[in-house]
Amino acid sequence: MNTVRDTRRATGAGRTGRRTGRLAATLLTAALAAGGLTVAAAPAAHAAASDVVAKLPISSFSALAVDSVHQRVYVADSNLGSYDNKGLVAVYDFSGERVTTLTTQRHVSGLALNADATTLYVGGREGMLKYDTATHQPQGGLSLSTDTCGRSVALAGGTVYYTSSYTNYVSECEGSLTYLNSYHADNTAQVTGWQDYGRLQLEAGPGDRLLMGQPLGSKAPNPFLAVYDASGQTLVRTAGRRFADADGKGAQNLKDMAFSADGSKVAVADAAAGTRLLDSADLSDAATGYPALPSGASASAVAFSGDGKYLARGASATGATPDLLLSPADPGDATAPLEFVFEGSLDGDRVAPRGMEWSADGSRLFAVTTNTVGNQYWLHIVQPPAVQYDTRFTGGLTHSPAQAVAGEALAVRGRLELDGPAPTEPLKVTATRTDAAGTHELGTTTVKADGTFTVLDEPDLVGDATYTVSFLGDLTHRPATDVTHTVSVGRAGSSIALTAPAEASMSTGVHLTGTFTAQGKALPERAVLKVERTDRLGTGTLSSVTVAADGTFTIDDLPRTRRDTTYTVSWPGDDLHTGATASATVRVTR
């Protein structure tokens, strides 16, 4: 997909830069629709989404939590590696300003908020910590067994679930045994009995669901994904799946996972397979999945908006390949995504694993990005425009040249009109050609500032060809109703130029030269020309002549009688080309 880019610059001093963002805006249709005044204007592209960026005061990252009640964003610095490392949770408001910083004596990792967002739970090295979200003051907690590898924390069914793993060295965490336990309101902890190897990850979902995923590791060559019912006192697994086939291929490489807003689906950011979409009831593949990430992008994060409208997919990518894609959550909605490319000291270079969360109303996406090395981090607050305006194709489509022929260039022209704001970048329309062989994608075409566009094609079949042009919409414009145009495609022409002497003798013979030309699609083989001679004795067929690679040919003949002799050279044509003929008369002497 072609991307649309704006030059981005941080403004002002301090922690926060505000800018439009580098993005390709084709997130569309009613996914971002809202009512609003329609203002007539020239054909327009999108108004860029708001992208506020704060440089985070951390050198590592472990968790992100969003409090939509108090409009706070919590980012935890994992800071693993040493017993003496301090813990840090940076707190921001929804405009990207840092509110405060929570510090602890030992490293922290997972974060979770209770249902009414009054309490923040923080997974610490030696226990579970609690903070009042209104005052950010500590509210005690519970001492737990030492956790060397970092806890994943999630609140499901009113209970806080956390992982715990102990090793001598952080380097051993990928193969260590990790336990899943629960922390209750009465300040007690319970062992659930569920355990496995590696840094197990947790994610809560609607309907008292809990999702646990196992990253790929030396002791987990075919890691699992599992859904639990957390509504009762006992955690009950309702679905589980591993992904490798009989040959051990296809195992998931889990980076992130998320429930859809209604809990019916699970999306998995799989570095090996891209974005998996699964039915939460049994973790089978959903009937309709999401399109593949752009070539060169490896899945790193995934998040559904709480209002059920959007899906955010984070990636690790380089150069101009998108690192973040925002799409309608409905996989059946084929509208193109809004794409962000992050690169350099203003943005970070990729979305961090598990580094995305939405506000509850879906109006903001919070994304943590990191540099290539992984020792610097940024918080992006993306707020897409809410209003969409109408679009339409006007005047139908036309084509030139008037007579289309197979194998030759054809231009199909039209005009797109849009209401709303003036464009900041050119729009794109897509086109297809449908003929006897089926439907063919013709790619995208840029719309000029005056709304006109030209689709270039080279039809390769004789007969009717129907061109369909579509505009899928963008952040501020709804899709247009497709426009179609049928063209009658004829056979390309061919011609023969024949040169002969005015006079020749029966003794020396006749030498003729010529050139054969076929327009349109190249012939699969060299043309073979029929040669006839007509004299006073009648008409006869001579040996056929094969045209040379450069289109030339020669004919040599010994006439059988005196007086005028006419030579006729012809080609019958084929499925894509009309036939051609040429004649020349020579006065033959003795």
User: Which residue ranges form the domains of the chain, and what is each CATH number?
Assistant: 21-28+54-383 (2.130.10.10), 391-490 (2.60.40.10), 494-589 (2.60.40.10)
Distances (CA, A) of 188 to 128, 159, 183, 184: 11, 11, 6, 5
Distance between CA 587 and CA 504 in Å, rounded? 6
Distance between CA 249 and CA 272 in Å, rounded? 10
Distance between CA 83 and CA 169 in Å, rounded? 10
pLDDT given at position 59: 93
Range with lowest mean pLDDT among 23-32, 196-205, 321-330, 479-488: 23-32
- 166, amino acid identity: Y
pLDDT given at position 424: 67
pLDDT given at position 475: 60
pLDDT in tens, 371-420: 999 999 999 999 876 666 789 999 999 999 999 999 999 999 999 998 88
pLDDT in tens, 542-584: 999 999 999 999 999 999 999 999 999 999 999 999 999 999 9
What's the token pair of residue 294? Answer: 């752009």
Range with lowest mean pLDDT among 90-99, 123-132, 140-149: 140-149
Specify whether the CB–CB gap between 269 and 254 falls below 8 A: yes
pLDDT in tens, 271-292: 999 999 999 999 999 999 999 9
Specify whether the CB–CB gap between 420 and 391 falls below 8 A: no
Distance between CA 426 and CA 449 in Å, rounded? 7
pLDDT given at position 376: 96
Q: Say if residue 39's pLDDT is above 70.
A: no
What's the token pair of residue 62? Answer: 């472990």
Distance between CA 428 and CA 25 in Å, rounded? 10
Distance between CA 476 and CA 390 in Å, rounded? 9
pLDDT given at position 336: 65
Percent of the residues in the chain that have a pLDDT greater than 70, as a whole number: 89
What's the token pair of residue 379? Answer: 């918080």
Instruction: Determine if the peptide bond prior to 401 is cis (ω within 30°).
Output: yes
Distance between CA 392 and CA 40 in Å, rounded? 12
Q: Say if residue 32's pLDDT is above 60.
A: no
Q: How confident is the model at residue 328 (pLDDT cuts 50, 70, 90)?
A: confident
pLDDT given at position 387: 60
pLDDT given at position 457: 97
Q: How confident is the model at residue 182 (pLDDT cuts 50, 70, 90)?
A: very high
Length of the chain in residues, anyone? 590
Residue 414 has a CB neighbour count (10 Å cut-off) of: 24
pLDDT in tens, 335-372: 667 888 898 888 999 999 999 999 999 989 999 999 99
Region 2-16: what's the mean pLDDT?
A: 30
Q: Say if residue 537's pLDDT is above 50.
A: yes
Distance between CA 275 and CA 282 in Å, rounded? 17
Distance between CA 376 and CA 370 in Å, rounded? 6
Q: How confident is the model at residue 444 (pLDDT cuts 50, 70, 90)?
A: very high
Distance between CA 127 and CA 107 in Å, rounded? 10
pLDDT in tens, 244-265: 999 989 999 999 999 999 999 9
Q: What is the pTM of this model?
A: 0.66
pLDDT given at position 78: 87
Handedness of CA 260, 177, 352, 377 (dihedral sign): positive
Query: Who's near 134: CB < 8 A, 6+ residues apart?
Result: 70, 118
Handedness of CA 92, 315, 25, 285 (dihedral sign): negative
pLDDT given at position 187: 86
Specify whether the CB–CB gap between 276 and 270 falls below 8 A: yes
